[in-house]
Structure 1
Amino acid sequence: MKKVIAFLSLSLMITSFVSAQEEAKKEVEIDFNRWSIDLNAGLSKPTAPFSTNYYASNTNFIHGDLGLRYMFNNKFGLKLDAGFDSFKNKSESFEFEGKYYRTNLQGVINLGRVLNFEDWTNTINLQAHTGVGFSFMTNDKFDGNDDMTNFILGLTAQFRLSNRIALNTDFTMINNVNQRYTFDGIDDPAVANDRGFNSTIYNASIGFSFYLGKNEKHADWYIPRNKQLDELESRVAELETMMNDTDRDGVPDYLDAEPNSITGVQVDTKGRAVDMNNNGVPDEIEKYIENIKNDKPVSKDGQSIEEMINGGYVNVYFDTNSSKPTAASYNAIQFVTQFLKANPKATAEIIGYADEIGSSEYNDKLSAARAAFVKDVIVKAGIDASRLIEVGKGEDNSVDANSPYARKLVRRVTFKLK
């Protein structure tokens, strides 16, 4: 049975290492921490071999182990660790006292990720560890060390306290090969002649895993995102942005030849303002100007023109890295200019924005340049500069910076009338 356990230990360690290498080849980015320090302390119980009338106490509280663990991915890793056990006799046994030292190289299988624990918990985990190592025993009944080889097999339950630390409880079985003395320190010929899998120690301990690294999570708790799902979500987000209707004319931006036409102005199927007389001014703007001249009430769907402008319905848009408006945006500038001419006491705040591409310092200057350019156009159209205030607001980070359609919406100048 013990030989079977040793064979399983070696097989599991080799399987863990090979599987880890295969998984590592699939990874493109490292966005989890790999290193940890595992520190545990608890109980030790040697069970065999013992001489007649010698028994170990069931409550040997002196056990400790310290391990340095490296995870190839979130399922497989290796751990180099060292352990110490101190044990003595039960009250009904003859007296003895021994100490056991070991060091091991172990393969680690992160069962929580293999078995998809994340489907029902993100705080509880389970790991199996197994490997081989060197160990020796000392005892008050013999001189020197009893050197041996060991095979170790254990199960660790984890409870995540934070992204940097987890609470561990571990149960481990150790089988020794080539042990000469019994645990009570007797040079037993039967043990010496066997020198096979004739020794077993059990450890039960509690401790902590301390996670090292700059990333948010350790491999113990890392759940890789599905790349295909990420791509699908990105495409859906892009489509949602493309379906935005910035100027609220009923034509999605990706089909809109004039994505900044004035809200409420009649447009054709391509989102272009209707201009029957081809004079460059939308027909409804001409009607608005005519109403002003004739002192007729000016409103659209219950909203005053001033409310529409202040509500962000009239915007001037820009290409990337440009302080000059797009050709279609001059209608918006003309609309605001005509309002100011019709309302001599009105003033306007001209507010420039930039997208998140580039440095903040550069975008501050670009947004101010855009506001200044629009102000200059309005001044040249006959509006006194004292009625205009230009403001550069810098970056507008209210949209997805990775979407070119979304960035297009924030490269703009808006107006606030007073």
Structure 2
Amino acid sequence: MKKKFSFLTLLLSLVATVQDVSTVSAQSSAENTAYNKWSVEINYGFNKPIRTLTARYNTPTLNPTHIDLGARYMLSPKFGWKLDFGYDKFNERDNTPSFESTYLRSSLQAVINLGRALNFETFTNNFGALIHAGLGGSQLTSKNGFDGQDYTANGIFGVTGQARLSNRVVLTADLTGILNASQDFNFDGMGATSPTAVDGVIINITAGLTFYLGKNEKHADWIAEKTISDDLEKRLSLLEKSLLDSDKDGVADLYDLEPNSIAGVAVNTKGQSIDHNQNGVPDELESYLDKTYGKKGDSVPSNNNIEELINAGYVNVYFDSNSSKPTSTSLSGVGFIVKYLQSNPSKSVDVIGYADEIGSSSFNTELSRKRAEAVKEIAVKSGIDASRLNVIANGEDASVDKNSKEARQIVRRVSFKVK
């Protein structure tokens, strides 16, 4: 009675454990179903009962009379269930009394894909391993021993190595141990078992083939599972990127319909530059140009005449002495050109660099080129194709008094010409 109660307790514990694992595994792979789940297997090999034999009776060290068949269903790449049937025949070894008995069993087993659990795919795509364990029932009959059948309960545990031959066939090698409970007769059939918690123990060593069934290319055994942590990490990464504000307009990229608006220009709640008169120039930039370049009573040209304003030199980017970095207050000039080119995709511009007369002519020519290149780089990073921006190094601008600090500031510039 005690051994039956112990075995029942073990049965209930195992069922509860594998059920919990099954639930979690199925949930974690709910979105990853593009793989085959069914397989069938056939194995042939050796058996060895290592206890519950009558005195003087014994079997060969490895008896080549074991066959088993199984069908497996994977709930996820990491977990599944297997139903299998086994056949073993026991005979005497040399110089021992003769006997013959047959052992039939069936079991329902939980299967853990050790290859996926340990991420074998990081170093191999052709070798794997499974762990299987479960409970079942068995029947022992004897040819020349006890009459009738001895029905037992069994627990089973094994490890299976896999070598993938193709996406449909796998070569396997398996080592399995079987523990019997409620066994009344020894495996030789010639005597009764001793009253212990665990009766007969059998070791099976087999080789076999597994055949994958289904319409998909691969079976769950060879699919890397998309884990909950991976999915969460991707979502957090996406959220972080979405909350960035690339154009610094105060509207996160996630909600920004104009993610490359001109820096410093007022935008609406969707990140779009405010342009009430729909002339392609943000209102705030129009106001700036009017104050900076226009004369009293003048107004900023309409969209048709903006090209004239650019070519006339009303839009410039300025630099400090001996510097190729635009001053922060003049970056709106780059923004104006960017906005113009975005609104006029068929147009291109010459980006023309200048320097004052301080220094050698060759140095100033190179400095004017660097200034034009710097402006071009900003425009390209703002979304303008580089092929639409032609850099020209005009070198020194001698049109002002080189002894005037203020006049020299005016000619340290980059201007533009629309083509």
Normalised to the residue count of structure 1, the TM-score between the two structures is: 0.54
Question: Deviation at 1:12?
Answer: 2.3
Task: Render the CA deviation track for 1:101-141: whole Å, top value 9, x for unaligned.
Answer: 21112233445566x45597565655433322232234442
Matches within 5 A, 1:239-250: none
Question: Aligned partner of 1:106: which letter?
Answer: Q
Runs of 4+ with deviation above 6 angstroms: 1-6, 243-254, 266-276, 287-291
Question: Aligned partner of 1:218: which letter?
Answer: A
Measured in 1, the distance between the counterparts of 2:205 and 2:174 equals 6
Asked whether 1:59 is paired with 2:47, we answer: no
Residue aligned with 2:21, SS: helix
CA distance 1:7–1:144, shift in 2 (3 Å): same
Select which of 279, 299, 305 maps to 2:301.
279
Matches within 5 A, 1:177-188: 177-186=181-190, 188=191
Structure number with greater Rg is 2
CA distance 1:204–1:10, shift in 2 (3 Å): farther
Question: Deviation at 1:231?
Answer: 1.0
Quote the residue 1:37 is aligned against: 40
Question: Aligned partner of 1:174: which letter?
Answer: I
Matches within 5 A, 1:79-228: 79-111=82-114, 116-117=118-119, 125-141=128-144, 146-159=149-162, 161=164, 166-186=170-190, 188=191, 190-191=192-193, 197-213=198-214, 214=216, 216=218, 218=220, 221-224=224-227, 226=229, 227-228=231-232
Measured in 2, the distance between the counterparts of 1:42 and 1:269 equals 85
Q: What is the aligned-residue identity percentage?
A: 26
Quote the residue 2:18 is aligned against: 16
Residue aligned with 1:198, SS: coil
Question: Deviation at 1:56?
Answer: 0.6
Question: Deviation at 1:72?
Answer: 3.5
Measured in 2, the distance between the counterparts of 1:22 and 1:288 equals 65
Question: Aligned partner of 2:345: which letter?
Answer: A
Question: Deviation at 1:15?
Answer: 1.0
Question: Aligned partner of 2:180: which letter?
Answer: N
Say what the alpha-carbon RMSD is for the aligned residues: 5.2
Unaligned runs of 5+ in 2: 248-252, 275-280, 314-336, 350-382, 389-419
Question: Aligned partner of 1:204: which letter?
Answer: I
Quote the residue 2:363 is aligned against: none
Task: Render the CA deviation track for 1:253-294: whole Å, top value 9, x for unaligned.
Answer: 996749xxxxxxx99997999796633348784378789xxx
Question: Deviation at 1:44?
Answer: 0.8
Unaligned runs of 5+ in 1: 259-265, 292-313, 317-326, 339-408
Question: Aligned partner of 2:308: which letter?
Answer: E
Question: Deviation at 1:95?
Answer: 2.9
Residue aligned with 1:184, SS: coil
Question: Deviation at 1:11?
Answer: 2.1
CA contact (8 A) 2:38 2:74 kept: yes
CA contact (8 A) 1:112 1:126 kept: yes
CA contact (8 A) 1:165 1:210 kept: yes
Question: Deviation at 1:16?
Answer: 0.6
Quote the residue 2:344 is aligned against: 331
Question: Deviation at 1:8?
Answer: 3.9
Question: Deviation at 1:80?
Answer: 1.1
CA distance 1:251–1:89, shift in 2 (3 Å): farther
CA distance 1:330–1:117, shift in 2 (3 Å): closer
Task: Render the CA deviation track for 1:223-263: whole Å, top value 9, x for unaligned.
Answer: 425322111333456578966999998899996749xxxxx
Quote the residue 1:345 is aligned against: none
Select which of 47, 52, 56 maps to 1:49.
52
Measured in 2, the distance between the counterparts of 1:232 and 1:273 equals 40
Residue aligned with 2:345, SS: helix
CA contact (8 A) 2:139 2:151 kept: yes
CA contact (8 A) 2:28 2:228 kept: no
Residue aligned with 2:344, SS: helix
Normalised to the residue count of structure 2, the TM-score between the two structures is: 0.53
CA distance 1:236–1:133, shift in 2 (3 Å): same
Measured in 2, the distance between the counterparts of 1:219 and 1:84 equals 26
Measured in 1, the distance between the counterparts of 2:289 and 2:67 equals 83
CA contact (8 A) 1:44 1:201 kept: yes
CA contact (8 A) 1:32 1:219 kept: no
Residue aligned with 1:57, SS: coil
CA distance 1:91–1:269, shift in 2 (3 Å): farther
CA distance 1:272–1:63, shift in 2 (3 Å): farther
Residue aligned with 1:106, SS: strand
Question: Aligned partner of 1:278: which letter?
Answer: V
Measured in 1, the distance between the counterparts of 2:100 and 2:60 equals 10
Quote the residue 2:237 is aligned against: 233
Measured in 2, the distance between the counterparts of 1:273 and 1:206 equals 83
Measured in 1, the distance between the counterparts of 2:89 and 2:288 equals 89
Measured in 2, the distance between the counterparts of 1:272 and 1:87 equals 100
Question: Deviation at 1:201?
Answer: 1.5
* Number of residue pairs aligned between Structure 1 and Structure 2: 301
